[in-house]
């Protein structure tokens, strides 16, 4: 009887903790303050001009080159800002025609402009020059927008229509491409009054609710290119005594289905799938009630998630890419809506170590 009483007490404590934390999350979501750049969803027309070759060869984590960005203002005039840029990423830096960009803007330069409050930004561009490269960018952007519904602890993004001039010595080459900005992690942590953790923390020491939300999301978009344990494509925040994951970089996911995407082998671990369009749940076993809570959250958000995709249909250049994206997300909901497939593909494969 004594053991039963202790177990009941611990269960009540756990329930209160999870419920309280859920309420805190809801309150945080309502109180979110974002900069003007990330306050809207309509794409911004921008102009960029630099040498891809120089960017790739002459920049590193600490070395930037001078450049400019021009953007269309609300009155359809153009405003130009001085910025400093460098190539970022590992695979995409070495293998993509357009390497992803890290951008710095001085506070004095951004003051009074659309970019005010953003000293650092990430810029995502298409990787390879192929017919559907803009649609691939759009699908990665969709992944970020979907995660906004999953967790209040997320990166804000803004879609861009880019007129890019690649300088090649005396010659130039112009491209019209899609891209998007990602806010810096400092903006995320300041928004939720948290701190960034820059050391590895075992996944089971991270908040159950936010971790399962993260793992469900990664399963939904068909992404195995992440690790909570090794902080691979995950940032960690410390908020109100909880360690929370914040995911990023979804180009290797089945949702995007990039031509260069391969099944991830984080820390050399070989997984049981061969194609990125095959789903594999990578989350750890946790309190079953937490799993059920997250399952209900996703099912309740199904219509909102599909609306995010539907609202961008006209932005796709290839209608087939839009249909693939919508069908891929729908297939996830078919899995979690059915008790048998839910147990088989999620609960039954949750990790012990």
- 251 bridge partner residues: none
DSSP 180: E
Q: Does 88 fall in a domain?
A: yes
Q: Tell me: pLDDT of 162 over 60.
A: yes
Q: Tell me: pLDDT of 263 over 90.
A: yes
Of 321, 345, 336, nearest to 255 by C-alpha is 321
Q: Are residues 54 and 182 in the same domain?
A: yes
Q: Are 102 and 81 in contact (CB under 8 A)?
A: no
Q: Does 4 fall in a domain?
A: no
Q: Are residues 65 and 40 in the same domain?
A: yes
Count of structural domains, the chain: 2
Residue 274, both tokens = 């061969």
* pLDDT for the residue numbered 177: 97
Q: Are residues 202 and 333 in the same domain?
A: yes
Of 110, 114, 51, 56, nearest to 83 by C-alpha is 110
SS3 of residue 224 by DSSP:
coil
Q: Does 22 fall in a domain?
A: no
SS3 of residue 269 by DSSP:
coil
What is the DSSP code string of 21-79?
HHHHHHHHHHT----GGGS--SPEEEEEEE-HHHHHHH--SS--EEEEEEEE-TTS-EE
Q: Are residues 244 and 159 in the same domain?
A: no
Structural domain including 97 reads: 36-124+154-186
Q: Tell me: pLDDT of 11 over 70.
A: no
Query: Per-residue confidence at 91, pLDDT binned at 50, 70, 90?
Result: confident
Q: Are residues 162 and 74 in the same domain?
A: yes
**How do residues 27-50 score in pLDDT, each as one tens digit?**
344 345 899 999 999 999 999 999
pTM of the model as a whole: 0.91
Dist. CA 66–CA 93, nearest whole Å: 18
Q: Are residues 113 and 221 in the same domain?
A: no
Distance of alpha carbon 75 from its chain centroid, rounded?
31
Q: Are residues 201 and 216 in the same domain?
A: yes
Of 340, 343, 21, nearest to 211 by C-alpha is 21
Q: Does 287 fall in a domain?
A: yes
Residue 208, both tokens = 């159950």
Mean pLDDT, residues 258-281 taken together: 92
Give how far Cα 88 sits from Cα of 25, 56, 57, Å: 32, 9, 11
Q: Does 5 fall in a domain?
A: no
């Amino acid at each position: 009887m004594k053991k039963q009483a202790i177990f009941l007490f611990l269960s009540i404590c756990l329930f209160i903790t999870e419920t309280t934390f859920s309420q805190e999350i809801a309150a945080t979501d309502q109180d979110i303050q974002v900069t003007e750049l990330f306050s809207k969803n309509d794409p911004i027309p921008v102009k960029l001009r630099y040498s891809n070759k120089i960017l790739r060869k002459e920049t590193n984590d600490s070395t930037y080159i001078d450049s400019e960005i021009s953007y269309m203002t609300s009155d359809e005039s153009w405003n130009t800002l001085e910025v400093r840029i460098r190539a970022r990423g590992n695979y995409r830096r070495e293998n993509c025609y357009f390497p992803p960009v890290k951008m710095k803007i001085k506070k004095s330069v951004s003051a009074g402009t659309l970019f005010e409050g953003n000293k650092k930004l990430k810029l995502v561009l298409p990787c390879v020059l192929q017919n559907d490269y803009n649609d691939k960018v759009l699908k990665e952007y969709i992944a970020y927008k979907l995660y906004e519904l999953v967790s209040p602890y997320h990166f804000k993004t803004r879609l861009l229509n880019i007129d890019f001039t690649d300088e090649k010595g005396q010659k130039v080459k112009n491209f019209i491409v899609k891209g998007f900005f990602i806010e810096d992690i400092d903006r995320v942590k300041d928004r939720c009054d948290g701190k960034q953790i820059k050391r590895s923390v075992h996944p089971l020491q991270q908040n159950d609710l936010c971790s399962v939300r993260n793992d469900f999301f990664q399963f939904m978009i068909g992404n195995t290119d992440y690790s909570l344990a090794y902080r691979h494509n995950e940032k960690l925040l410390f908020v109100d005594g909880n360690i929370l994951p914040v995911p990023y970089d979804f180009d290797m996911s089945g949702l995007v289905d990039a031509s260069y995407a391969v099944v991830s082998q984080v820390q050399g671990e070989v997984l049981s799938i061969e194609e990125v369009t095959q789903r594999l749940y990578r989350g750890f076993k946790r309190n079953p009630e937490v799993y059920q809570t997250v399952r209900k959250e996703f099912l309740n958000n199904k219509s909102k998630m599909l609306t995010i995709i539907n609202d961008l249909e006209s932005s796709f250049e290839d209608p087939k890419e839009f249909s693939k994206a919508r069908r891929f997300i729908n297939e996830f909901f078919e899995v979690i809506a059915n008790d048998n497939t839910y147990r088989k593909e999620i609960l039954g494969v949750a990790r012990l170590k």
